[in-house]
Structure 1
Amino acid sequence: MQKRLNYLIQNLEKYQLDAIALNPGPSLNHLTGLDFHLMERPVVAVFWADGAVQIILPELERAKLARLPFEVRVSTFGDVVETWQSVYTQALESASKDTLRIGIEPTRLRYLELNLLQTALPNANFEDGSACIAPLRLRKDASELAKMKRAAEIAQNALLETLKTVRPGQSEKQIAAELMVQLYRAGSDPELPFSPIVSSGPNTANPHASPTDRLLGEGDFLLIDWGAGFEHYFSDITRTFSCGEPNAEMRKIAELVRQANEAARLGGKAGMTCGDIDHLARDVITKGGYGERFTHRTGHGLGMEAHEAPWIVGGSPVVLEEGMVFTIEPGIYLEGFAGVRIEDDVVVTTDGLLSLTDLPREVLPLETFC
């Protein structure tokens, strides 16, 4: 834990920030090991460039701090909302007259916490601290990779059990419900990376479809995008299946997507850019005549969040380094007809990209798994 804090302090100096302010979420857990859920009571931790750490939290959450392996300055408040600002102001009083640059996570810190901080530190400039924070979780160590591998195993085992029960005439919602049950039976954390996407027939052409009452029918594709959690780390996988015999164009796009996934998965390596990986997959689909139907980036980083850096998008200059984990998920979507996506989780190693996921990537008939 101290190693992570030391890295943060180095980044604060690098980006000339006086502090980073975090509320509950993956970054706070990564730095402290503390579990807080985002609620109406505003929990904030301030990590100062001199190494000091302050946590402002409800009195009822104070007992969690006993597990901390380092010293912190603690301020607590009760349930009277009108007193919260005075607690924040008093906790940060020593810095209230200073002109400060304080980084925040723009996609996570809410107005509630930001307003309390701005009032307590009126001379501070609160700015996007992503460049300082994101590198902390960019490269996974052996312990983190082991958790991600386990999260992938749990997800895959859950899907295999679910597929045994899938039959024509079931709704997308019924299949999704069974998958949720199997994820928890297989050992997933209560928190999943996202609600599973289960789509069939023409709904598979919507990349982020939500399960509906549509019934699975003969000749349909069935697309399932799901994941599991294990000790705060996630998996994120997509496979596509056929119910009955797909037509010629469905078979064609299925094979193109498989080839695109393979090209990026086997062709990627450390030293390439994220944009290079996107090109490897996209080039296959473009040459196959469906480039305009591949409507999203090839992948995204994965770890304590389902979507995090690095972003596998065309033109990205970010260089792949050992320990980075991301998805490879090319797709083709034919509106009103059918869609295919095949997604794997890979880690950058000295020998290339190692896939943490290994279910068959071909679009196989559902009866294969019964």
Structure 2
Amino acid sequence: MNVNGTARMLFTAEEYAARLAAVRLRMAEQGLSALLVTDPANIYYLTGYNAWSFYTPQLVFVPAEGDMILFSRQMDASGAFRTSWLPPECIVGYPESYVHRPHIHPFDWVAFALRERHLIAPAAKGCVGLEMDSHFFAPKAYRALVNAIPEWTLVDSFELVNWVRSIKSPAEIQLMHKAAVITNNAMAAAEQAIRPGARKCDIAAAITEAQIRGTEEFGGDYTAIVPLLPTGESADTPHLTWSEDRLKDDEPVVVELAGAYQRYHVPLNRTFSLGEPSAELSRLADATGEGLNAMLDVIRADVPVREVAAVWNRTIFEYGYEKDSRLGYSIGVGFPPDWGERTISIRSEEESVLAENMTFHLICGMWMDNYGYGLSESIRVTATGVETFTTYKRGLLPINS
């Protein structure tokens, strides 16, 4: 703890100030006189606050001018100074009596606290932005704000803070490089654990240990998504986790995981083959690998995102394949249940243009009938090309039992 009673900053005061200034610029452009931030990743990005407290309502009040205020459950607010750089007077806890009650909501209390601080009227001069697509902003929370603050015109902020996050600072890129080391180690742990007869839960356990253990120099965080392990015929379905079933000696194993450091995530997807792969799976792997390489060849700053999707589509079409789902998404800070930033997606309809230090998970999952193949890279866009964060070998990776 430093002299003003707040946590040591992960980033410099200047970087946090620049983040807030960028948020306020977007607020002004969208006609917002205040913003209520409820996404834990965005709260972390602005304030440094990092705890498993997002299962109860919490928010950061961001006025057009003046201090941000973090509101959370009292027992969490009491220790929030240990991770957040906000001064103690800007961290406010609501009473325990408001937690999980059927007829009252914590935001009832938060609204009155804002009113006591004379912050309602200034924010009523324009619209007040809400993160309407935040995983932890419930309909009941919205209703509480509408009823308690009738002076406000509440509108969707349309992932305002998420868009500010889309271009990373050099300091953020360095954290992602550390996360990438953990990613490589976790995938190596998966490869070592994958054997005929191995229980899927044991593979997940090996991955999780590597994710948390990190390296001798730095430890890892919990990840926003658990290890994903579609196997055999079920590899035609993404986002399956694990069971106690044992691996058969002739099935592929698709592994998707991430390394996380200081909440920054670097995901990775690879496919391992137990025994001789089928001809159709081998052909799919070749097409997918070529498609990924084609995307990596075209990515650089100032390239429209839709051009990245177009080169993939042309490449796999030559093999007779099509892919309806998106090909990647912006990554960085992640909290459960997702490590994506919910902004730019790599797809034909995307109107965004790539910029230097944007970071993406290029996910080339191909899900066919009763089989599938996964391959991905996490990348940084540079002025002249692309940097891949991880160094793990690609292709359909054989397991030598």
Q: Is this contact kept in 1: 2:182–2:211, CA < 8 A?
A: yes
Aligned to 1:37: 52
Q: Is this contact kept in 1: 2:194–2:203, CA < 8 A?
A: yes
Instruction: Map Cα deviations across residues 327-361 of structure 1 (whole Å, 9 max, x no partner).
Output: 1122322212x211210001110121111122111
Aligned to 1:311: 345
Select 1:300's aligned residue among 329, 341, 346: 329
Instruction: Map Cα deviations across residues 34-93 of structure 1 (whole Å, 9 max, x no partner).
Output: 124344643221101123323333333134247525686454332122695345314235
Instruction: Map Cα deviations across residues 277-330 of structure 1 (whole Å, 9 max, x no partner).
Output: 122222211221121xx2411111110131112211112110000010001122
Quote the Cα distance in structure 2 between the aligned partners of 1:295 and 1:173: 31
**Residue 124 of structure 2 is aligned to residue 106 of structure 1:** no
The change in CA–CA distance for 1:186 and 1:36 in structure 2 (over 3 A counts) is closer
Offset at 1:260? 0.7
Instruction: Map Cα deviations across residues 200-251 of structure 1 (whole Å, 9 max, x no partner).
Output: 2111111222223443223321110111210010111100111111122221
Aligned to 2:10: none
Aligned to 1:129: 157
Matched residue of 1:304: which SS?
strand
Q: Is this contact kept in 1: 2:256–2:270, CA < 8 A?
A: yes
**Residue 121 of structure 2 is aligned to residue 92 of structure 1:** no
The change in CA–CA distance for 1:116 and 1:56 in structure 2 (over 3 A counts) is farther
The change in CA–CA distance for 1:323 and 1:180 in structure 2 (over 3 A counts) is same
Q: Figure out how many residues of one structure are paired with residues of the other and give that number.
A: 365
Instruction: Map Cα deviations across residues 100-124 of structure 1 (whole Å, 9 max, x no partner).
Output: 4111212222234333332332121
Tell me the amino acid that sits aligned with residue 239 of structure 2. Answer: H
Q: Is this contact kept in 2: 1:290–1:332, CA < 8 A?
A: no
Aligned to 1:267: 298
**Residue 167 of structure 2 is aligned to residue 139 of structure 1:** yes
Quote the Cα distance in structure 1 between the aligned partners of 2:105 and 2:237: 47
TM-score by length of 1: 0.91
Q: Any stretches of 5+ residues in structure 2 without a counterpart? A: 1-15, 99-103
Structure 1 stretch displaced more, 297-306 or 275-284: 275-284
Tell me the amino acid that sits aligned with residue 93 of structure 2. Answer: T
**Residue 352 of structure 2 is aligned to residue 335 of structure 1:** no
Structure 1 stretch displaced more, 49-58 or 194-203: 49-58
Select 1:193's aligned residue among 224, 238, 262: 224
The change in CA–CA distance for 1:203 and 1:130 in structure 2 (over 3 A counts) is same
Q: Any stretches of 5+ residues in structure 1 without a counterpart? A: none
TM-score by length of 2: 0.84
Quote the Cα distance in structure 2 between the aligned partners of 1:220 and 1:40: 38
Q: Is this contact kept in 1: 2:212–2:222, CA < 8 A?
A: no
Quote the Cα distance in structure 1 between the aligned partners of 2:93 and 2:251: 56
Identity, % of aligned positions: 20
Select 2:93's aligned residue among 50, 71, 76: 76
Q: Is this contact kept in 2: 1:9–1:51, CA < 8 A?
A: no
Query: Alpha carbon RMSD of aligned pairs, Å?
Result: 2.3
Tell me the amino acid that sits aligned with residue 297 of structure 1. Answer: R
